A and B are shown apart, each in its own frame.
Chain A
């Protein structure tokens, strides 16, 4: 018994955290990522590999159900904490660790009641969709007992003309290295996307974090170009961190996120130029990464009459072109961190593209997704989303539908 307690306490020194970011809580998410990095608490990719469910951001009733399922899938010992704002994150993490260290199995019968047959109609979730069926009706109607109560998969023609099983899988709203609040419903054959539908992102309240300076400047508040450059550089680093994590390059993903945290913490420009240039050199000049992302998610930005889907000029080219443009912009931005001139929100590009109040740039990026995802393999699909990195908060902030 004593041994168990000691093992629990030892394990609680390094809890594995499953972060669940709610829409509208970007500062809390960023603070959580920073603290987890500094404390060396690993970020789990699925409930199975996690001890601590860390919910960040303001409460969002629309996401209660997926959150409850995520929580139900965490194996014991486990703890769940919620940090609504960035200031609460540190204490929430401490609370979580204490609960894990003092875990006694009380009220833990949990795991399982959410893992049973009620998962037939699996709503969107981060952890793992199940390999079987999930046909929409949930019952084949034959009266045959189905293994695990899961419906049979239905077949459909695949790209080679074979009839193969179709798997309905939802990416998001809680998935690691994924835009907050976004849900994409996929129909997969093998790991090839046959159909993709973007759901309307869960609506957050308040102003979107990343385009904040542009919104404030448009509303007439004084915002300096330097502050906007710092904000945009941080946004770029956040997107790069996601893309590099999805591309399986944790070393550089951490470097990008460290730079982002430095930018947001207001580090002096001189201290940031070195890391920014190093990131641009290591990632931008990496032939391997360019080889791996070549031709993925090709968008026609209106310059050529190719067969690729048309999109905004900022999204032109393939994934390689896009992350190289991010790195170029990052290099320019870190050289203008102290620019005292006022920000012209319409002349200066916002993090996701030129700012228009009625048509936030993320709406165009989201509208691009379905056409780009169909035909891609799952790994490429993740790279496409991470390489465009739309920010669903912008849509809710502007009050527009995603297909705007």
Chain B
């Protein structure tokens, strides 16, 4: 790691921390969401600089999409219309402070208490290939199971959240075509 990398790493690390702090300081839901996005994108940069470019860039990619979708839902469901009303992002301050202090202390102690192993061998030429091999060879079963669990969770959550089921759309005998929808789709089912 040369000087440029070290400087970048420091800058990104500080920015990530600053974004994290802003999440609790700012009083607008939209700004908080995007402070969190800046923090996570900087974390992605840190991961990239540490030699895992795929994971780093994918973190940025996924976080942008997730934060935007999250902003949509948070703003849709909060009692503060459209998010312009200043509101505090702190809840249960005393309890939260205690939990975070204990966690911080535990993690910091961990850093110093754990006997870190010395470097053995050399870093791979392409960490992306190594990552792919690990996921798709050694951990293939884990990843397949995980993927299915995630998918079924998403489908299940959507089904539970949807008020209208197929009988509402297609009629009692499921033979109404096109379906009765508030807004017609593009395929005409």
Residue interface mask A282-301, B partner, CB < 8 A = 1: 00000000010011000000
CB pair A160 B76 closer than 8 Å:
no
Is A9 in the interface zone, CB < 8 Å from B?
Answer: no
- Asked if B182 and A159 sit within 8 Å, CB to CB, the answer is yes
Residue ID in chain B nearest A165 by CB atoms: B81
Report the nearest A residue to B164, measured CB to CB.
Answer: A160
Please provide the chain A residues from 117 to 154 with a CB less than 8 Å away from any CB of chain B in the complex: 131-133, 146-148, 150, 152-153
Q: Are A165 and B82 in contact (CB under 8 A)?
A: yes
Are B81 and A147 in contact (CB-based, < 8 A)?
no
Query: Is the pair B82, A148 in contact by a Cβ cutoff of 8 Å?
Result: no
State whether B182 touches A147 (Cβ < 8 A): no
Tell me the bound Cα distance from A155 to B79 in angstroms.
9
Q: A132-B81, A160-B163, A164-B76 are known contacts. Are A147 and B86 too (CB-CB below 8 A)? A: yes
- For residue B183, CB closer than 8 A to chain A, the reply is yes
Evaluate contact between B183 and A380: CB separation under 8 angstroms.
Answer: yes
Residues of B within 8 A of A153 (CB): 81-82
Tell me if B141 is interfacial: C-beta within 8 Å of chain A: no
- Judge if B110 is at the interface, Cβ distance under 8 Å: no
Q: Complex Cα distance A264/B19, Å?
A: 62
Complex partner residue of A152 from B81, B86, B163, B184, CB under 8 angstroms:
B81
B3 to chain A, nearest CB (A): 42
Task: Judge whether A375 is part of the interface by a CB distance below 8 angstroms.
Answer: yes
Q: Report if A152-B85 is in contact (Cβ < 8 Å); known contacts: A160-B163, A161-B163, A164-B76.
A: yes
Return B158 CB to nearest CB of chain A, in Å.
13
Give bound CA distance, A165 to B75, whole Å.
Answer: 10
User: Cβ of B186: which chain A residues have Cβ within 8 Å of it?
Assistant: 291
Instruction: For B86, give the chain A residue with the smallest CB separation.
Output: A147
B-side interface residues, number (CB < 8 Å): 13
In the bound assembly, the distance between CA atoms of A161 and B82 in angstroms comes to: 19
Q: Chain A, 169-204, contact with B by CB distance < 8 Å: what is the 0/1 string? A: 000000000000000000000001000000000000
Complex interface: chain B residues within 8 A of A146 (CB): 85
Interface SS of chain B: loop
B180 vs chain A, min Cβ distance (A) = 9
In the complex, A377 has a CB within 8 A of chain B:
yes
Q: Which of A132, A159, A160 contacts B84 (CB 8 A)?
A: A132
Given contacts A147-B86, A161-B163, contact A295 B81 (CB under 8 A): no
Nearest CB on A from B26, distance (A)? 14
Complex Cα distance, B186 from A291, in Å, reads 7
With CB as the reference atom, state the residue of chain A lying closest to B183. A377
A192 to B182: give the CA distance in the assembly, Å. 10
Interchain CB contact (< 8 A) of A375 among B84, B85, B182, B188: B182
User: Are A147 and B163 in contact (CB-based, < 8 A)?
Assistant: no
Report whether B184 and A132 are in contact in the complex, using a CB–CB cutoff of 8 Å: no
Q: How far is the CA of A239 from the CA of B181 in the complex (A)?
A: 29
In the complex, which residue of chain B has the Cβ closest to the Cβ of A147?
B84
Tell me whether B184 and A294 are in contact (CB under 8 A).
Answer: yes
Those of B86-111 within 8 Å (CB) of chain A: 86
**Interface residue ranges of B155-189 to A (CB < 8 Å):** 163-164, 182-184, 186, 188
Which A residue's beta carbon lies closest to that of B76? Answer: A164
Q: Least Cβ distance of B112 to chain A in Å? A: 47
Who on chain B is nearest to A133 by CB?
B81
Query: Nearest Cβ distance between residue A275 and chain B, in whole angstroms?
Result: 31
Question: Which residues in window 48-93 of B have CB below 8 A to A?
Answer: 76, 81-82, 84-86
- In angstroms, Cα B60 to Cα A193, docked, is 36
Contacts A/B (CB < 8 Å), 23 sampled: A131-B82, A132-B82, A132-B84, A133-B81, A146-B85, A147-B84, A147-B86, A152-B81, A152-B85, A153-B81, A153-B82, A155-B81, A159-B182, A160-B163, A160-B164, A164-B76, A165-B81, A165-B82, A192-B182, A294-B184, A295-B184, A376-B183, A380-B183
List 8 tightest A-B contacts by C-beta distance, closest first.
Answer: A153-B81, A147-B84, A295-B184, A165-B81, A159-B182, A152-B81, A131-B82, A132-B82
Other A-B pairs, 8, CB within 8 Å; known A132-B84, A294-B184, A294-B188: A133-B81, A147-B84, A148-B84, A152-B85, A155-B81, A160-B164, A192-B182, A295-B184
Q: B-side interface residues toward A, CB under 8 Å?
A: 76, 81-82, 84-86, 163-164, 182-184, 186, 188
